[in-house]
Chains A and B, each alone.
Chain A
């Protein structure tokens, strides 16, 4: 503890007494974690709107059977880019943005550990997505092989623009890797004295584990797209059966990345919900330790279940059984988490402000998505469900009312801390109910059309699916347009919201709430004292 005495004499404090630069330079050259967090969040919201427009093109086309608005080739580009933009452009950067804003404040650090790399890891992203999205305006068209870009669709039969896609993915990967290194270094090296690992808020814990997942799998993705690049341009045959390669191997490599990737998108969501539910239940989180261990178990299991995405390509019985049981095992730590959230609410003095509404909806709807995942894990049943709308319903239930709801909840929850002003509570509730109804009307019928055999990734379908699809499309438009209300709400709060108190929420615990609202440009230049009351909320 002797170093504590020296606190405040650190050499890097010299230029920390002034505020942000003015104008565009502030954002281009910033190394401030709050600025970069803001950039990430606005970037991901922009991507969310773009990906949403693509989704609405899909739903407009599927409103009725037959081809109405777009041709099948363009439809394929829509599904592919919707998936890529939402996964890599909206959900992942939003969580990195939240980590940037919150992790230093939650562990009592003055900034991220590597501020310049932080700037770089954000500013790569606009270039990556400009490259990806620009292909949609090229003559050959954008990527059209699905977000999973299975070879040989993405190699032998890919549009010429696939190289832009490959370099775009390389850049996104580089950005994620740098972001993860930064987050790990911040969490492991920059915690205030007394903030032991097992006192960290759960959001910090889930991000620590997520960052390790990213470091483990993003390089594998980089390898996979590099192999594609070689197959396309340099005459290799990694995935080309004619030259001795194997397209099935692509699927193994992709899903070795892809399955941990889906947990990368949900673990930070678990963290967010674990912060919000205790606040509005006015009780500490139930089973903190078990939450940490459950998160770690889910992360470990995510590496040994990848082949459940490809039961139908053919594999030995022993393999099918292994991947089935391993997948079902994930329900155990996930169940621990769900029960802990419910137990936290149990007999709490609950109130239902907007962030809490989104958090409760997360618990219920994510659990539905989890159960449909369990159904898909049953190998023989998966032969029926594979590549149907049931799969679409499943992963949208875990990603939209799962990951996305948690991000929206986080924005409502911490926005008063970020900008010092409250959002409009009644408009927030309206946004919640529109989103909640919209999301369920969109995705619940897809379970039924999927079970009845409607395949995914098609622009036209048999007549018996017409009613369910019309319902889905109506829900999608309600959900999509209600997100503009969210945009309005956030801008209104920033411009003219009522001033927020420092604590903001009556039941809030954690270091970030000990700071003034809005949080000063430089916080915790002196390490805070960690009291039990401020340890993990």
Chain B
């Protein structure tokens, strides 16, 4: 390094080298800012942060032990996001289930408007320590829903609470927020893609 010289050429050489390095650092940090998005998704997946319940769960009933001695309360919460005018409810506010057992709950949506609309439910589970032990084999949140004016839809959701659920967890709350994605989804072709991949990304 030519630090401390007053030679113009030496300075401008050293400067342009250094400036290149610094610009490289700036570009690197700009890229890092964008890389935070997949990194954050990865972190959420690992830690259960954000209550992400993951995608469709496949399992072999023969391998699954049902814990008949234990009952876990599962609460269902349905919300519609601001500006979403559909009705959204579940047939029961909650149920008591045995870990390891396959259960079904039914949710309903009704398009109360006179327009064709697209809805997307985004799930979240609390406590966060339970997210890894709550599995859904079938869920309407894996896809978006397209409803004609006045149309009502019955949406079954099947889930299993893992028998390895930590013993201190006695109740789990599963909350769905229903969003109006009519504008966001634009064309029908895009609707299917919005489905579970991105819904799992929260």
Contacts and interface: CB of A to CB of B under 8 A. Distances in A.
Answer yes or no: do A and B interact: yes
Interface of A: 3-4, 6-8, 10-12, 110, 113-114, 177, 180-181, 184-185, 188-195, 215-224, 227, 235, 237-238, 240-246, 248-249, 252-253, 256, 314-316, 319, 526-527
Nearest to A192: B4
Contacts of A222: 30, 33
Given A189-B3, A191-B3, A223-B30, A242 B15 contact: no
* Interface majority SS (helix, strand, loop, mixed), chain B: helix
B133 to A, nearest CB: 15
B19 A253 contact: no
A219 B27 contact: yes
Interface string B1-45: 111111111110011001100110111011011101100100010
B202 A526 contact: no
Given A216-B29, A242-B184, A189 B202 contact: no
B29 A219 contact: yes
Nearest to B197: A244
Nearest to A157: B82
Contacts of B1: 188-189
B4 A527 contact: yes
A170 to B, nearest CB: 11
25 contacts: A3-B10, A4-B5, A7-B5, A7-B7, A10-B6, A11-B8, A113-B11, A188-B1, A189-B3, A192-B6, A193-B4, A215-B22, A219-B26, A222-B33, A223-B33, A238-B37, A242-B120, A243-B194, A244-B122, A244-B197, A244-B199, A244-B201, A244-B202, A252-B36, A316-B47
Given A220-B29, A253-B33, A189 B14 contact: yes
Nearest to A114: B15
A238 B41 CA distance: 11
Given A189-B11, A316-B128, 7 more contacts: A4-B6, A6-B6, A10-B11, A245-B202, A256-B33, A316-B47, A316-B49
Nearest to B40: A249
Interface string B169-202: 0000000010111001010000000100111111
A245 B201 contact: yes
A527 B6 contact: yes
A188 B22 CA distance: 12
Contacts of B81: 241-242
Contacts of A7: 5-7
Contact of A237 (B32, B34, B198): B198
A178 to B, nearest CB: 10
A185 B29 contact: no
A314 B128 contact: yes
Contact of B34 (A216, A223, A242, A316): A223
A226 B29 CA distance: 14
A235 B201 CA distance: 17
- For the complex of A and B, list the 6 residue pairs with the smallest distance between their C-beta atoms, beginning with the closest: A244-B198, A223-B33, A242-B179, A219-B30, A3-B5, A220-B33
A219 B22 contact: no
Interface string B67-105: 000000000000001000000000000000000000000
